Amino acid sequence: MLTGFLLEFSQALLVLMLAPGLAGFVRWVKARLQNRRGAPIWQPYFELAKLFGKEVVISNNASWLFRVTPYIVFASALAVTFLVPFIAAPLPFDNVGDLLVVVYLLLLGTFFLALAGLDPGTAFGGMGASREMTVAGIAEPTIALSIFSLALGAGSTNLSHIVIATLDNPGVALGPGHLLAFAALFVVTLAETGRLPVDNPSTHLELTMIHEAMILEYSGRYLALIEWASWLKLTIFFSLLANLFIPWGLALTLTPAALAMAVFTLIIKLAVLGVVVAVVETRIAKLRLFRVPELLGMSFVLALLAVTSSFLLK
Amino acid sequence: MMVLFLLMLSSYAFGALCALVFGRGALSRGLSALGAVTGSGAGLTLGVIALVSGDLTRFEQTFPSFLPLTGFALRIDGLGAFFLIIIGLVGGSASLYSYGYSATYEGRYSLRMLGMMLNVLLLSLSIQVLANNALTFLLTWEVMSLSAYWLVLTEHDQPGTVRAANWYLAMTHAGFAALVAMFMLLSGGELTVSFANMRSQAVLLTPLTRDAIFVLALFGFGAKAGIVPLHIWLPLAHPVAPSHVSAVMSGVVIKMGIYGLVRVVLDLLGGGPAWWGGVVIGIGAVSALLGVLYALMEHDLKRLLAYHSVENIGIILIGIGAGLIFQSYGLMTLAALGFIGGLYHTINHASFKGLLFLGAGSVLHATHTRNMEEMGGLIKRMPWTALFFLIGAAAISALPPLNGFASEWLVFQALLGGFNIPTPEVAALMPIAVGMLALTSGLAAACFVKAFGITFLALPRSHEAELAHEAPVSMRIGMAILALACTGLGLAPVAIVPVIGSILNGLGGLPDTHAAFVVDLSIQTPSAFGQMSPALTGLGLAILLALIPLTMWILRVNQRTRMSDSWGCGRVGQTARMEYTATSFAEPLRRVFAELYRPTKELTVDFHPDSKYFVQSIEYKSAITPLFERLLYDPFLRLVQFTARQVRRLQTGSLHLYLVYVTVILIILLLAARWF
Q: How far is CA A130 from CA A68, B261, B620, in A?
A: 20, 38, 21
**Contact (Cβ atoms closer than 8 angstroms) between residue A54 and residue A275:** no
Q: How far is CA B292 from CA B309, B431, B437, B440, in A?
A: 9, 20, 11, 6
Per residue in B488-527, pLDDT tens? 999 988 888 888 888 888 888 788 777 667 667 778 777 7
Q: Output DSSP code: residue B603.
A: E
| Centroid of chain to Cα B342 | 13
Percent of all residues in chain A with a pLDDT value above 70, rounded to a whole number? 98
**Contact (Cβ atoms closer than 8 angstroms) between residue A308 and residue B428:** yes
Nearest Cα to Cα of residue B531 among A154, A94, A153: A94
ipTM (interface predicted TM): 0.95
Nearest Cα to Cα of residue A102 among A126, A75, A81, A128: A81
How far apart CA B278 and CA B37 sit, in angstroms, is 40
Cis peptide before B401 (omega within 30 of 0): yes
Shortest distance, CA A258 to any CA of chain B (angstroms) = 27
Contact with chain A for residue B473, Cβ under 8 A: no
Contact with chain A for residue B20, Cβ under 8 A: no
Residue of chain B whose Cα is closest to the Cα of A295: B592
> What average pLDDT does range A75-79 have in this prediction?
95
Q: Could you say which of B394, B449, B561 has the minimum Cβ distance to residue A114?
A: B449
Nearest Cα to Cα of residue B250 among B400, B365, B133, B355: B355
At residue A125, what are phi and psi to the nearest 5 degrees? Answer: -60, -45
For residue A307, the chain B residues in CB contact (below 8 A) are 431
Q: Do B565 and A144 touch (CB under 8 A)?
A: no
For residue A217, the chain B residues in CB contact (below 8 A) are 566-567
Q: Do B533 and A96 touch (CB under 8 A)?
A: yes
Residue B206, strand partner residues: none
Q: Is residue B438 part of a domain?
A: yes
At residue A155, what are phi and psi to the nearest 5 degrees? Answer: 75, 25
**Whether residue A155 has pLDDT greater than 90:** no
Q: Is residue B344 part of a domain?
A: yes
Torsion of CA B590, B171, B286, B89, to 10 degrees: 90
| Centroid of chain to Cα B453 | 23
Model pTM? Answer: 0.94
Categorize the per-residue pLDDT at A24 as very low, low, confident or very high, splitting at 50, 70 and 90.
very high
Contact with chain A for residue B565, Cβ under 8 A: yes
Helix (H, G, I), strand (E, B) or coil at B564: strand
How far apart CA A224 and CA A20 sit, in angstroms, is 11
**Whether residue A197 has pLDDT greater than 50:** yes
- What b/e string do you get for B253-271 counting C-beta neighbours within 10 Å, with b at 16 or more? bbbbbbbbbbbbbbbbbbb
- Report the alpha-carbon angle B640-B643-B646, nearest 5: 155
**Contact (Cβ atoms closer than 8 angstroms) between residue A281 and residue A31:** no
> What average pLDDT does range B42-57 have in this prediction?
77
pLDDT at B56: 44
Q: To the nearest whole number, what is the mean pLDDT of chain B?
A: 89
Torsion of CA B106, B107, B108, B109, to 10 degrees: 70
For residue B559, the chain A residues in CB contact (below 8 A) are 221
Q: What is the largest CA-CA distance in chain A?
A: 59
B contact residues 373-392, partner A, Cβ 8 Å cutoff: 376-377, 379-380, 390
Residue A271, strand partner residues: none
Q: Chain B interface, mutation test: which of A133, A222, A225, A299, most B Cβ atoms within 10 Å?
A: A133
How far apart CA B77 and CA A163 sit, in angstroms, is 44
Per residue in B633-665, pLDDT tens? 888 889 999 999 998 888 877 888 889 999 999
Residue of chain B whose Cα is closest to the Cα of A291: B592
Helix (H, G, I), strand (E, B) or coil at B601: strand
pLDDT at B304: 94
For residue A55, the chain B residues in CB contact (below 8 A) are 558, 560-562
Per residue in A227-249, pLDDT tens? 999 999 999 999 999 998 888 88
| Centroid of chain to Cα B343 | 13
**Whether residue A216 has pLDDT greater than 50:** yes
Categorize the per-residue pLDDT at B77 as very low, low, confident or very high, splitting at 50, 70 and 90.
confident
Q: Which domain holds residue B320?
A: 315-555
Q: How far is CA B112 from CA A148, A201, B510, B536, B566, in A?
A: 54, 61, 46, 48, 50
How far apart CA A62 and CA B50 sit, in angstroms, is 49
Q: Do A98 and B532 touch (CB under 8 A)?
A: yes
Shortest distance, CA A39 to any CA of chain B (angstroms) = 25
Q: Is residue B28 part of a domain?
A: no
Categorize the per-residue pLDDT at B291 as very low, low, confident or very high, splitting at 50, 70 and 90.
very high
Q: Output DSSP code: residue B556.
A: T
Shortest distance, CA A5 to any CA of chain B (angstroms) = 13
- What b/e string do you get for A56-65 counting C-beta neighbours within 10 Å, with b at 16 or more? bbbbebbbeb
Q: Is residue B645 part of a domain?
A: no
pLDDT at B611: 82
Give every CB contact of residue A218 below 8 A, 6+ residues apart in sequence.
A70, A116, A226
**Whether residue B62 has pLDDT greater than 70:** no
Q: Chain B interface, mutation test: which of A111, A146, A206, most B Cβ atoms within 10 Å?
A: A111
Categorize the per-residue pLDDT at B622 as very low, low, confident or very high, splitting at 50, 70 and 90.
confident
Q: Output DSSP code: residue B131.
A: B
Q: Do B544 and A134 touch (CB under 8 A)?
A: no
How far apart CA B287 and CA B35 sit, in angstroms, is 36
Q: Could you say which of B379, B431, B566 has the minimum Cβ distance to residue A304?
A: B431
Domain count within chain B: 1
For residue A220, the chain B residues in CB contact (below 8 A) are 558, 560-561
Give every CB contact of residue A93 below 8 A, 6+ residues apart in sequence.
A8, A82, A83, B536
**Whether residue B57 has pLDDT greater than 50:** no
Helix (H, G, I), strand (E, B) or coil at B133: strand
**Whether residue A82 has pLDDT greater than 60:** yes
Shortest distance, CA B387 to any CA of chain A (angstroms) = 10
Shortest distance, CA B124 to any CA of chain A (angstroms) = 39
Q: Is residue B212 part of a domain?
A: no
pLDDT at B519: 63
pLDDT at A204: 65
**Whether residue A18 has pLDDT greater than 90:** yes
Residue B371, strand partner residues: B300
Give every CB contact of residue A111 below 8 A, 6+ residues apart in sequence.
B394, B397, B399, B445, B448, B449
**Whether residue B484 has pLDDT greater than 90:** yes
For residue A304, the chain B residues in CB contact (below 8 A) are 431, 435
B contact residues 576-595, partner A, Cβ 8 Å cutoff: 576, 578-580, 584-589, 591-592
| Centroid of chain to Cα B164 | 17
Lowest mean pLDDT among A43-57, A77-91, A246-260, B46-60: B46-60
Q: Do B442 and A101 touch (CB under 8 A)?
A: no
Q: Is residue B523 part of a domain?
A: yes
Cβ atoms within 10 Å, residue B428? 15
For residue B557, the chain A residues in CB contact (below 8 A) are 52-53, 221
Contact with chain A for residue B36, Cβ under 8 A: no
Q: Is residue B77 part of a domain?
A: no
**Contact (Cβ atoms closer than 8 angstroms) between residue B516 and residue B334:** no
For residue B595, the chain A residues in CB contact (below 8 A) are none
Q: Is residue B146 part of a domain?
A: no
pLDDT at B64: 57
Categorize the per-residue pLDDT at B70 as very low, low, confident or very high, splitting at 50, 70 and 90.
low
pLDDT at B518: 65
Per residue in A275-290, pLDDT tens? 999 999 888 888 888 8
Cis peptide before A197 (omega within 30 of 0): yes
Helix (H, G, I), strand (E, B) or coil at B127: helix
